[in-house]
Amino acid sequence: MKKIMVTGALGQIGSELIAKLRSEYGTDNVLATDIRRTNSAIEGPFEILDVTDTNKMHTLAKDFGADTMMHMAALLSAKAEEEPLFAWNLNMGGLMNSLEVSRELNMQFFTPSSIGAFGPSTPKKDTPQDTLQRPTTMYGVNKVAGELLCDYYFHKFGLDTRGVRFPGLISYVAQPGGGTTDYAVDIYYKALEERKYTSYIAEGTYMDMMYMPDALQAIVDLMEADPTKLDHRNAFNVTAMSFEPSQIAASIKKHIPSFEIAYDVDPVRQAIADSWPDSIDPSVAIAEWGFKTNYNLDKMTADMLLKLKLKLS
């Protein structure tokens, strides 16, 4: 049985990843860590950890007997544009520390990259797995450097590094903070609370998205995949759907006919979105480890509205 340590465990992905891993591998085999313990803190092993503190990270991993590291702590794209130096220190420092601790303790390693690792010169439609990557955001610079670092640790030290490029992730459990794709989560809350939503992303701006249950399954499937089948190790393109704001609004309208969308575009987040692909090609992930999804836009909308309604009532 795996013994897994997760950083950023109270973040958007981490909150649900912990529950998923504990249901697969047992509560006591998953150590959740985050920089602070909030009210939403989950039951089971939990430790406070600032990922820039490499000594504490090493001690926690060693004492827990972890054989797997899932490094999720990161600053997202819009926030990273506000504080680029802090983003560099947190995103790169945290990644470097978690790779080093994993090397020292010989752990399997996962960290997510993002569609943010692509830039304006990347092919925009059906973006291939291996392609031009010249991102124009600090987050993107961090993600490309991170992809290369993970490959480096595999080739140089034989560390079992694995990772995916996540699109925007949508979930009803924890809200994202500081991302460019966050509108696609906010819109469901506002649809239920106010029957209207003002989008900071312009109509016609396509981005890849995925529902959280598919994202969590992808992490588990990749970590369990036969290593001899992996030509790539890190930064697999994964996606479930590509849509623009009026399409998610139309999907919501099928359940809430009075719902209306309006636009008040935020130039910073719009520029980030414009620099990212419209749709990425996940065929390499499908071929190498059987990546699959269960949710398209309408199925996700039905589930989101149902679960959020219960949560907000």
Q: How far apart are the first and last CA of the chain?
A: 38
* Closest distance to ligand AKB from the beta carbon of 175 (Å): 12
What is the CB neighbour count within 10 angstroms for residue 222?
A: 22
* Closest distance to ligand AKB from the beta carbon of 154 (Å): 22
Task: Pick the closer one to ligand AKB by CB: 64 or 200.
Answer: 200
Task: Pick the closer one to ligand AKB by CB: 180 or 205.
Answer: 180
Closest residue to bound ligand AKB by CB:
179
- Tell me, yes or no, if 25 is annotated catalytic: no
In the block, residue with structure tokens 């004492």:
63
* Closest distance to ligand AKB from the beta carbon of 78 (Å): 6
Residue ranges binding ligand AKB (CB under 6 A): 76-77, 114-116, 139, 166-168, 176, 179-181
Catalytic residue among 25, 139, 189, 211: 139
Q: What is the β-pairing status of strands 241-243 and 260-263?
A: unpaired
Task: Pick the closer one to ligand AKB by CB: 119 or 168.
Answer: 168
* Closest distance to ligand AKB from the beta carbon of 205 (Å): 12
* Closest distance to ligand AKB from the beta carbon of 166 (Å): 6
Cα 121 from Cα 136, distance rounded (Å): 10
Task: Pick the closer one to ligand AKB by CB: 116 or 146.
Answer: 116
* Closest distance to ligand AKB from the beta carbon of 116 (Å): 5
Task: Pick the closer one to ligand AKB by CB: 230 or 268.
Answer: 268
Q: What is the DSSP string of the chain?
A: ---EEEESTTSHHHHHHHHHHHHHH-GGGEEEEESS--TTPPSS-EEE--TT-HHHHHHHHHHHT-SEEEE-----HHHHHHSHHHHIIIIIHHHHHHHHHHHHHT-EEE--EEGGG--TTS-SSSB-SS------SHHHHHHHHHHHHHHHHHHHH---EE-EEE-EEE-SSS---S-STTHHHHHHHHHHHHSEEEESS-TT--EEEEEHHHHHHHHHHHHHS-GGG-S--S-EE--SEEE-HHHHHHHHHTT-TT-EEEE---HHHHHHHHHS-S-B--HHHHHHH-------HHHHHHHHHHHHHHHH-
Task: Pick the closer one to ligand AKB by CB: 181 or 242.
Answer: 181
Active site residues: 139
